[in-house]
Structure 1
């Protein structure tokens, strides 16, 4: 009876979830219903999947509108019709300049419903109808159309559930139109009556025209849609070679031919593993999936792109042999069933990381190579705080009040009616889809055209993107290809290139010699002493401290550390227990014998996702299928908790039947639950560790080149400033940008590191391009005059270069150069230089003597780079009083001390009581790290006050050879006045110690 129903995927219009729409339809006694969201198909597949639960026959379609103006509704008679509708809708979503016309096109297997208008004449085709709304019935009585009702159908729209839903709808429309609610046009709203009426009420409304009811039922009876949600057969591209038999032969050949590259002397264990995996891959129909990944990565290697295959795919020896991953699953005892098994219905996936500079080309290659390809969408939903701001504007609240509400700084009883409404409706729309975005990495390659399942839109990325997300894709059997980007791989690739030009004699680096890296003594030393700043995944303060505590110097230890650092392990208290058992194996005797026998490598402590499965299976008595449900229950993408809770009850019952103590059962379950959403598969950690070893090797042997690459890839965990400091600590001579030697990116010549022009705030890209092009064509600049003559740039741009000392090769004081620049250039926009027949002579102005100081250089660098190139302690108003340094702290264990530190980074966390505390990372005067803990009372009384140097007073604590300071008081020290704006200029504090910056 309902041909025009909107879920909240009619974005910023509808207010009902797809499942709620089905629920209220069932409550009102309907057996069939059409979902026709406005210019959107996001909810369609979920609507069909859920319809069986409510015993409702689903019909799919789209409500085509320009803004809020309804043009027509297309209903799909069958799957082919749905495909045609998606094709048509996508033409408008791919080209924003197109406007939906008044008349629908002729699409096979579809019905068209136009909204009835009394003053409009219709020449309807066989499949076209007029939708009559209840408010149109009186007009219909006096219309010529009354004589022929065979083309009339019910058009009672359903957009909201009740009055609150309608009010919410109006607020969403105001947000969409960026207007005050009081100024929202009626034409932009639906009708308050657009709610679902019961079958009896709807029949009574149209009682004078029973034929209209009959026509509506007839249309719905002729519509049928069907999708398979059993996941028994994947819907991805079924064949790589167009023959499934040839696919398998190719996969088999590639796997065995890969033995030469991966193993010197393969034994029966390896051959048996290959045979078993190939058999399961074939039976589960995942052959083409492996081959397509192989094809993508073969292309990547041909382009010399670095990549890392990670996730549970690292559990596969076939993936290792096809060079999809670099993790040897035999060496790490990774079992294939974690990746693919005969009972697992949900599809597998490889996570492939590329450099952030290469990923777009890989995506382009995939779209060109495989026919039915699309990116996956994500539903960007309304968040509470953001909703408060949006609704605050809609209600016309002043900014100060909106700020107060969004920050939660209010007394609910003291708020006026409008402010309370903002909070009420912000809570109500929280979780509503707001707009469609692009999944961070997901790509699907379908056997059928993508439009068989969904319409697609065309975001700025320039690739067709589905309307549904990864969960829905998985429901329908479309398993995704995860193509991700990260800067770590960019650093590795760039370092190798930098070494080639800075150390040509050492240019032949095999960055894939992971086996050699695992035994390298230099790398072991870096790991043991946590000197891995800049290295992938092991440089953060938390990881640096964990490496110190564990004194890890081997691959397996690093793999474990990569997973132990995850919040799940830390939350359960098992990170600390792992450290204790690692350092004192005798403590392992306290572990439950079954847990120790299951996980001897990790001392009976659950560290990986696989450990949870093993514990659930061997200790909890669950089958592997049930244990896999448990693993999925720990995933953020797990749709329902019901299945997870049933497995929990089974776990407890099995343990009780075995006679395990209740406290032990609860403790182990607590550890299992703590992994929710955070646990790493062992293969995933192992993949991370491989990349860590590559970066550790480069840091060990080419620290300066590696730091230059890190700087050019915009760092990692820390800011550019710290990586510049780290290069200096390794003997690098840091140079400010120079017009004759620098490039856009940072370069290294010997030990001299010239910072790139791109790091100068305010220096325009066109200026950099012009400078580099002219220098390449005509050679180095001889003077400031030469530069001004050749480049024709504005005084503002040349001033930036002068202030950063980019003309220091001239030997002229930069204050004098600035004076010259202002006299010889104009503040007006400069046109590109035109070559004259005769050289124009400039007037040689005599500039006064204008001395500048190192202190001015420091403040210019701070302004233009964001950090100084000298020791920041030199800028203190008063000389540093405390003689204590970070390396001396172990001598003062359990004693209160004071020390100065330059703030690097902070981490904020919340205690179990809901109070804030902090962890701080500082550099001392010599450039070594100081780590601090700020418990809630201190955190509230002595907050961080931004970048700068602090006097830290507190107690020195040692835990597992790791030194921290429990802060008691903290005071930010004053910096001298900026000399560029003071007279006379303050005195610069010189020092001969190692400088940080």
Structure 2
């Protein structure tokens, strides 16, 4: 497999004057191929090779011009979108040459644009062949899949991966011919020397073809209203009306009006009016449909976007950098990332396709490439290595390669495979809308979601000049929607989440933020983020915006996150590295926190132009091709710093800070958009905690497993119920303070069965018992057993043993019947089964044997118990502790009936707050999650998150030596030993030893 760069470079070295690219059922590489050919002085020709479902080469189409490329892309796309197989003979296509690799019909029946390709190795077969009478229909056919033997070996490997077989089982039909290689022009001409007519025909085809691939801003949708003047007048009216709506009369209104007019002038000059209006149109449809959205990305820096409702971030409040989102040097428009709820995004996307037309609209693709270990595993598999050897090879590729020649071959091929495309996928949400039909630029492919996907990714789209509209999804908005619906149902009131000024100023919301009580809240619920909020004592919107960005990996990696916290608490304890930092980064204490800060510093510190600063930022964030542009800008940065009198040491430190975090940082408007949603989540959690947590559970999104959101509801006062046939729905439901888990959490249950059950219950009333249920619901035996084991029939008052026995008497899966209304009242069954129970109490445990049985079934079927997991720990688990450790004060279980019923007067502000600095302690804790990170030395350490026996969260740190000796062993209760350290008054347990405690044996599996 050859990349466009490798193909063109080799062709240029051999003096090739013309190349035709005709990928198999794809137009993916067209943009890059044309650009590289023109740079190398080679004439490019565009085409597509059409193969059927059996991977048989049917024919190749070569485009004479732009119309021909349109016809080829449209032909391929229509068969993909309509799921129709390609015919053996294509219909007539104007401005297209069709080249057949073999005779599929008599050559005398060929149309005037149809030709027969003759391979170099087949030229000698023409002697005395009837095709000599049709030489005007013959052309050179020299397909290229390789340049050398190594390329062909890579081709064999890729074909084996595609066919999921070992390479020795490949047949000649599965592979390209060994002669399908790039040849020097003189060598190729020698093959056809006896038949100069074929060469002349081929040259005639070459001369007739031109790769007319239109690029530039003009290929995007040019107007929204039908005229550029109309677009500007509409945008101006919407923006100025928005200023009056968003800002009350006064000084702030005047400032907003001036900035809006300034932005409108630049937007008009850059011809970005249709981009703003189309984005506005998308948001307007969503609002009409009742969908909440979040507008973020660099476009949220715009006050015009704020005034027309694309975003809810006020640029004046945050002093957002105007040049970050748009400047006179920038050719591409600002990025608008529009988030919708995960279950509403597809409807918005469907609107875009229907509003602007399928021939003009497409989702962007993304190319999954072979990487590292995955490439090594794939190559090893097709070379027939067993799993054990593959695992060894992945763990130590260089060591195995030195010992084993076969392993060395696998490693060499895998190394060359890295970075090559694996398969086509869908971009996170990028949509392009073109002025002319999209087939002038690329073909489309139907993806499983039902939307057409262009054969270009975001980088090729940028090279073409296409603007990208990001219609994205996130589950956080689903949390808000579901929670507000529950509040409306349970409390009869509507929650106004758009009254942001009131929400940001609410004292209860700010107190929750400051204490880090944000579990379930969008973007601020992870242990690291909650710890950061607590260390900062963050209690307002402005500081949360900064916190949302400094938590990103780049800032933490550079060491500037810790420095930011220190400067935040001690703002007079440091000196700025340079006056430029004090002038432009005073708000963030001289630390680069946002993407705009990169632009500001490289512009003012080293003199790079704004457009160059933006290009550098985009390269570092992975949103632009690198090439040699990065090195040129780096040299210009250091040269500019010297010109301005900065020392090399200072310039190197500034560059280190720029380089270390910019690829992971947010733009300020992006952070601000996240912070708005965080405040909305905090507001709901502060005033409607149970409705909010149910919203999180039912949208299946968040940092933690469902178990811990259920626990959060318990801590907020809810009584948790296992799924119940007469009370539960498919999703989790809340009735006052009773939370009934949804059947969706029951492993192995049928969704259709639950929907039928709920419908029947609503139609005919609650089920009276197991017999009544089986008479009304058609159910399989295994499904019925799942319901019994989870306790869904506990309302009958019978034990699981009795119910399972009764099931055998009343349930017959062999009897199939039609559901119908019953004419007579169902009587209780005559049989009344009573079984002797196992001993009801287990010595030393708070749970009865029945409760233990239920807990273990919950562990198996839900993935977690609904009782405290500490109650399941075996009493035989000795907990010896060194004399240097003292036991943390424990909760008196005699006064605690549940995990959450701990009087507030006895709840410490933090589970470790009673332990003094560097104080040793030992405690039992339930594992929540951990995060493994590499150290500077390349070792591995971990940060853990736990719940103590009172149900409260705390964090731990495990340094490399401890992490190696005492690794995490999955979910469960652990005995932890360590000392408490504090950083900015935030306690953390530095673990020196830990062990997982065993659960008590399940009586069902013991003698």
Fold shared, TM-score > 0.5 on shorter chain:
yes
- Residue of structure 2 equivalent to 1:489: 477
Following superposition, the deviation at residue 825 of structure 1 comes to 0.9
Following superposition, the deviation at residue 517 of structure 1 comes to 1.2
- Residue of structure 2 equivalent to 1:382: 370
Q: 2:221 aligns with which of 219, 223, 237?
A: 237
Larger deviation: 615-624 or 521-530? Answer: 615-624
- Residue of structure 2 equivalent to 1:6: none
Cα 1:413–1:423 shift into 2, 3 Å: closer
Following superposition, the deviation at residue 930 of structure 1 comes to 2.1
Q: 1:394 aligns with which of 365, 382, 390?
A: 382
**Aligned residues of 1:234 and 1:479 also touching (Cα < 8 A):** no
Counterparts of 2:935 and 2:625, CA distance in 1: 29
Cα 1:118–1:734 shift into 2, 3 Å: closer
**Aligned residues of 1:347 and 1:474 also touching (Cα < 8 A):** no
5 Å matches for 1:922-941? 922-941=946-965
Matched, 1:466 2:466: no
- Residue of structure 1 equivalent to 2:170: 184
- Residue of structure 2 equivalent to 1:988: none
Counterparts of 1:830 and 1:661, CA distance in 2: 87
Following superposition, the deviation at residue 883 of structure 1 comes to 4.0
**Aligned residues of 2:361 and 2:431 also touching (Cα < 8 A):** yes
**Aligned residues of 2:300 and 2:306 also touching (Cα < 8 A):** yes
- Residue of structure 2 equivalent to 1:866: 863
**Aligned residues of 1:799 and 1:818 also touching (Cα < 8 A):** yes
Following superposition, the deviation at residue 950 of structure 1 comes to 0.8
Instruction: Calculate the TM-score normalised by the size of structure 1.
Output: 0.94
What 5-or-longer segments of structure 1 have no aligned partner?
Answer: 1-14, 984-997
Query: Is the partner of 1:102 in helix, strand or coil?
Result: coil
Matched, 1:91 2:88: no
Following superposition, the deviation at residue 887 of structure 1 comes to 2.4
- Residue of structure 2 equivalent to 1:913: 937
Counterparts of 1:900 and 1:352, CA distance in 2: 44
Larger deviation: 264-273 or 528-537? Answer: 264-273
Matched, 1:173 2:159: yes
5 Å matches for 1:446-845? 446-504=434-492, 507-828=493-814, 831-835=817-821, 844-845=830-831
Matched, 1:261 2:248: no
Larger deviation: 167-176 or 763-772? Answer: 167-176
Following superposition, the deviation at residue 537 of structure 1 comes to 0.4
Counterparts of 1:508 and 1:486, CA distance in 2: 23
**Aligned residues of 1:310 and 1:352 also touching (Cα < 8 A):** yes
Counterparts of 2:206 and 2:747, CA distance in 1: 63
Cα 1:550–1:113 shift into 2, 3 Å: same
Counterparts of 1:828 and 1:685, CA distance in 2: 60
Query: Is the partner of 1:587 in helix, strand or coil?
Result: coil
Deviation per CA, 1:420-475: give whole Å up to 9, x if none. Answer: 32222122111111221111111111111111111111011111110110111111
Cα 1:409–1:825 shift into 2, 3 Å: farther
- Residue of structure 1 equivalent to 2:62: 75
**Aligned residues of 1:567 and 1:678 also touching (Cα < 8 A):** yes
- Residue of structure 2 equivalent to 1:330: 316
Deviation per CA, 1:725-749: give whole Å up to 9, x if none. Answer: 1111111111112222211111111
Counterparts of 2:7 and 2:815, CA distance in 1: 60
Matched, 1:112 2:98: yes
**Aligned residues of 1:728 and 1:734 also touching (Cα < 8 A):** yes
**Aligned residues of 2:576 and 2:582 also touching (Cα < 8 A):** no
Following superposition, the deviation at residue 315 of structure 1 comes to 0.6
Deviation per CA, 1:106-138: give whole Å up to 9, x if none. Answer: 111111112245996442222222211111111
Counterparts of 1:859 and 1:611, CA distance in 2: 54
Matched, 1:274 2:271: no
Counterparts of 1:590 and 1:273, CA distance in 2: 31
Following superposition, the deviation at residue 347 of structure 1 comes to 3.1
**Aligned residues of 1:309 and 1:351 also touching (Cα < 8 A):** yes
Query: Is the partner of 1:191 in helix, strand or coil?
Result: coil
Larger deviation: 405-414 or 554-563? Answer: 405-414
Q: 1:369 aligns with which of 342, 348, 355?
A: 355
Cα 1:119–1:242 shift into 2, 3 Å: closer
Cα 1:72–1:165 shift into 2, 3 Å: same
Query: Is the partner of 1:226 in helix, strand or coil?
Result: coil
- Residue of structure 2 equivalent to 1:419: 407
Counterparts of 1:909 and 1:528, CA distance in 2: 27
Counterparts of 1:151 and 1:552, CA distance in 2: 77
Cα 1:70–1:78 shift into 2, 3 Å: same
- Residue of structure 2 equivalent to 1:153: 139
Query: Is the partner of 1:945 in helix, strand or coil?
Result: coil
Deviation per CA, 1:567-603: give whole Å up to 9, x if none. Answer: 1111111111111110001124355332112111101
Query: Is the partner of 1:175 in helix, strand or coil?
Result: helix
Query: Is the partner of 1:74 in helix, strand or coil?
Result: strand
Deviation per CA, 1:843-900: give whole Å up to 9, x if none. Answer: 5223133436111111111112111111100001127964446624453311222121
Deviation per CA, 1:231-252: give whole Å up to 9, x if none. Answer: 4x34221111222221111111
**Aligned residues of 2:717 and 2:737 also touching (Cα < 8 A):** yes
Counterparts of 2:533 and 2:677, CA distance in 1: 17
**Aligned residues of 2:725 and 2:767 also touching (Cα < 8 A):** yes
- Residue of structure 2 equivalent to 1:990: none
Counterparts of 1:227 and 1:389, CA distance in 2: 39
What 5-or-longer segments of structure 2 have no aligned partner?
Answer: 838-848, 880-886, 891-909
- Residue of structure 2 equivalent to 1:293: 279
Counterparts of 1:880 and 1:864, CA distance in 2: 29
Query: Is the partner of 2:931 in helix, strand or coil?
Result: strand
Matched, 1:24 2:10: yes
Cα 1:973–1:409 shift into 2, 3 Å: farther
Larger deviation: 462-471 or 625-634? Answer: 625-634
**Aligned residues of 1:815 and 1:850 also touching (Cα < 8 A):** no
Following superposition, the deviation at residue 939 of structure 1 comes to 1.1
- Residue of structure 1 equivalent to 2:416: 428
Cα 1:849–1:501 shift into 2, 3 Å: same
Instruction: Calculate the TM-score normalised by the size of structure 2.
Output: 0.93
**Aligned residues of 1:262 and 1:321 also touching (Cα < 8 A):** yes
**Aligned residues of 1:59 and 1:76 also touching (Cα < 8 A):** yes
- Residue of structure 2 equivalent to 1:855: 852
Q: 2:190 aligns with which of 201, 204, 216?
A: 204
- Residue of structure 2 equivalent to 1:989: none
- Residue of structure 2 equivalent to 1:991: none
- Residue of structure 1 equivalent to 2:236: 252
Equivalent pairs, count: 964
Q: 1:443 aligns with which of 426, 431, 435?
A: 431
Counterparts of 2:878 and 2:484, CA distance in 1: 41
Query: Is the partner of 2:367 in helix, strand or coil?
Result: strand
- Residue of structure 2 equivalent to 1:891: 915
- Residue of structure 2 equivalent to 1:978: 1002
Counterparts of 1:81 and 1:179, CA distance in 2: 38
**Aligned residues of 2:298 and 2:336 also touching (Cα < 8 A):** yes
Following superposition, the deviation at residue 839 of structure 1 comes to 6.8
Deviation per CA, 1:544-572: give whole Å up to 9, x if none. Answer: 11001100001010000000001111111
- Residue of structure 2 equivalent to 1:143: 129
Deviation per CA, 1:641-679: give whole Å up to 9, x if none. Answer: 422221211211222233323222111110000124212
Counterparts of 2:62 and 2:723, CA distance in 1: 64
Matched, 1:35 2:21: yes
Counterparts of 1:826 and 1:410, CA distance in 2: 61
Larger deviation: 913-922 or 533-542? Answer: 913-922
